[in-house]
């Protein structure tokens, strides 16, 4: 009787779905790769970049009102945190989905090996600041050229018969 009971339990265990806590090796690798990225630092850098741009714009418009600029920066930080409170979990979920879609388990292992290397560590440390600086410089170029773009678009739209008011 005892042997039948044990056999029945073994059959039930074999037919039952995997428990929710069972580890998915690929998902574990994905989460380990994501853990290598300084996501919080990137969000903080984005927020600081926005604050610095706002500060420069405010001081350019009203050079003598630095105190007001700092008050507006504080308001911007508080509002940013309210609006983007869930940015990191959303980013992580999106990264998980994309890493799962694009990379195999072997790819993920190779990524981890790279990011654990000296060069990979340097890339993780330096890349966010490099991307932020590049983005700011690119944005400056776009803003400098925007009047030319607008002028050319206006002229070409008029040449195409659009009435612009």
pLDDT of residue 40: 82
List all residues 6 or more positions away from 114 whose beta carbon is below 8 Å from its beta carbon. Answer: 120
pTM for the model: 0.59
pLDDT at 7: 40
Say which residue, 69 or 79, is predicted with more confidence. Answer: 79
Cα dihedral: 54, 57, 60, 63 (round 10): -30
Output the pLDDT for position 58. 81
- The total number of residues written for the chain in this structure: 165
Q: What is the mean pLDDT of the chain?
A: 81
For residues 147-161, average pLDDT:
89
Query: How confident is the model over 72-116, as pLDDT tens digits?
Result: 888 888 888 888 888 889 989 999 999 999 999 999 999 999 999
Give the whole-number percent of the chain exceeding pLDDT 90. Answer: 29
What pLDDT score does 13 carry?
39
Does the pLDDT at position 18 exceed 50?
no
């Amino acid at each position: 009787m005892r042997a039948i009971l044990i056999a029945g339990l073994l059959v039930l265990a074999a037919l039952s779905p995997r428990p929710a806590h069972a580890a998915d090796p690929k998902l574990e690798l994905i989460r380990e790769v994501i853990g290598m990225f300084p996501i919080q630092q990137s969000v903080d850098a984005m927020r600081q970049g926005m604050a610095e741009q706002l500060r420069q714009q405010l001081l350019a418009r009203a050079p003598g009102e630095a105190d007001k600029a700092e008050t507006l920066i504080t308001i911007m930080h508080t509002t940013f945190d309210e609006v983007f409170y869930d940015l990191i979990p959303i980013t992580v979920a999106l990264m998980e989905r994309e890493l799962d879609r694009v990379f195999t388990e072997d790819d993920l292992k190779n990524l981890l090996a790279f990011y654990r290397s000296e060069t990979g560590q340097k890339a993780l440390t330096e890349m966010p600041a490099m991307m932020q600086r590049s983005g700011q410089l690119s944005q400056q170029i776009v803003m400098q050229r925007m009047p030319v773009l607008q002028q050319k678009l206006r002229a070409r739209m008029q040449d195409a018969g659009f009435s612009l008011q």
